[in-house]
Structure 1
Amino acid sequence: MITFYMDGWQGTGGCTTIFTAAAITDGFIARKMNLNSTFGAFLDPVADKLMFLPL
């Protein structure tokens, strides 16, 4: 959230970097390591919605 409200190219670059990293790694590590939990199943859709909330 902090990078979203920063002025200048640092805010834009930081926000883009964080969003891209989150989009690429979303669930990748859990699937690769065969990890799952009830909390993770609940939190995944919530986290997806929170990523798009400021837009």
Structure 2
Amino acid sequence: MRHSFATSYLHAGGGVEDLSRILGHSDINTTYRRYVRPNVEDLRRGMDAVL
């Protein structure tokens, strides 16, 4: 459930900093390593913003 919540939260536009606090991580890098997995659409939006 924890991973499902974190994934849903991020895909809904929630911030990693807030998610880290919600999950009780003392180090934000823990949140990045375990829960942040950019998908193709995220990468495409990022590239479109730059170009």
Fold in common (TM above 0.5): no
Task: Indicate the TM-score class for this superposition, using the shorter chain for normalisation.
Answer: under 0.3
Q: Which has the higher contact order (CA 8 A, sep 6+)?
A: 2
Larger Rg over CA atoms = 1
TM-score by length of 1: 0.26
